[in-house]
A = this chain, B = another copy of it.
Amino acid sequence: MQTLGFNGFSYADIAGELGISKATVHHHFPTKAALGHALLERYSDNFRGALASIDMSNSEAPQKLDRYVEFYRDVLVGNRLCLCGMLAAEYSTLSKPMQDSVRHFFDANETWLAGVINQGRRAGALQFCGSVEDVARMLLGALEGAILLARPYNDVKRFLSAARLALAGLKDTRRAASASRQRRVPRARAETV
């Protein structure tokens, strides 16, 4: 689903990959919509767990955002898209339950991002114009778009560069300026992305 899309894979693909028959797959997931919905829910649960693990680290906002970006990078290296980014493109062809789950995934990510961004603003680590919710949405869109555009070029650096720049707009102005001068330095420091 993350590579070929929901409309691009078939029961035969799964059966072939696992060395079982199509009928066996149907036994576990009667319809393709049920199969897609189950995979989508599992993906969403895993993502929620990953966000919770970031929260438990009690890091500052910039570090949390860096780890968030790493999730997307890890998805890309397998020639995959964020599952919900893929399904957002195919949205019009999806069943109602899948459509609802896709929106719920985005809602959860926006809410989490808004919380982190708010934390960063209160701590003085992030600075921006506009509401926290709007910034969270912009950021989510920028990451989904960056991974979408990086894949045709099979170039993870495109994604990382775009992600870093999208975050740079939120960093404190003076820090961002100094970070840009030494932006070739790996992501060890707090100010770099």
Q: Which residues of A contact B (CB under 8 A)?
A: 3-5, 7-8, 79, 81, 85-86, 88-93, 99, 102-103, 106, 128-131, 134-135, 137-138, 140-146, 148-149, 151-153, 158, 161-162, 164-166, 168-170, 173, 176-177, 179-180, 183, 187, 193
Contacts and interface: CB of A to CB of B under 8 A. Distances in A.
Counted per complex, copies of this chain come to 2
A92 B151 CA distance: 9
9 closest Cβ contacts across the A-B interface? Answer: A145-B145, A169-B169, A129-B180, A141-B145, A89-B89, A138-B165, A7-B7, A144-B145, A141-B146
B3 A92 contact: yes
Given A79-B92, A130-B168, A131-B187, 17 more contacts: A4-B90, A4-B92, A7-B7, A7-B8, A89-B89, A89-B90, A106-B149, A128-B165, A129-B180, A134-B165, A137-B158, A142-B162, A143-B145, A144-B145, A144-B148, A165-B169, A166-B169
Contacts of A158: 137
A182 B77 CA distance: 42
Nearest to A146: B141
A4 to B, nearest CB: 6
A96 B146 CA distance: 22
